[in-house]
């Protein structure tokens, strides 16, 4: 079981950043998808300390991605409002 969890963590570590950055249309798979996958691993009850640290690190990456996306959206909205007001 531990080997399967290691493989899943390695896969997520490889593809999640690419999926979240996506293309011009946005993320290929949303942060909620990746968060659910990681929580499913935690829910197995077979996660060792090293795997727990890896999963935690990936969850933090998701949080940072969402914060950056929210900041960018707020900056774009502020810019659009300023443009509309003629500033």
Total of domains in the chain? 1
Show Cβ contacts of residue 48 under 8 Å, excluding neighbours closer than 6 positions. 2
pLDDT of residue 81: 79
What mean pLDDT is predicted for residues 11-23?
94
pLDDT tens digits along 33-70: 999 999 999 999 999 999 999 999 999 999 999 999 88
Distance separating alpha carbons of residues 53 and 59, to the nearest angstrom: 10
pLDDT of residue 73: 79
Range of the domain at 8: 2-84
Q: Which two tokens stand for residue 14?
A: 């490889």
Q: Are 82 and 74 in contact (CB under 8 A)?
A: no
Show Cβ contacts of residue 13 under 8 Å, excluding neighbours closer than 6 positions. 54, 58
- E-assigned strands of the chain? none
Q: Are 31 and 62 in contact (CB under 8 A)?
A: yes
pLDDT band of residue 83 (cuts 50, 70, 90) is: confident
More confident residue, 55 or 83: 55
């Amino acid at each position: 079981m531990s080997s399967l969890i290691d493989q899943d963590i390695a896969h997520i570590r490889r593809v999640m950043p690419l999926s979240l950055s996506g293309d011009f249309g946005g993320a290929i798979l949303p942060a909620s998808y990746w968060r659910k996958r990681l929580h499913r691993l935690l829910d197995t009850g077979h996660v060792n300390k090293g795997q727990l640290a890896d999963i935690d690190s990936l969850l933090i990456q998701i949080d940072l991605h969402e914060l950056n996306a929210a900041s960018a959206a707020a900056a774009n909205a502020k810019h659009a409002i300023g443009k509309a007001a003629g500033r």
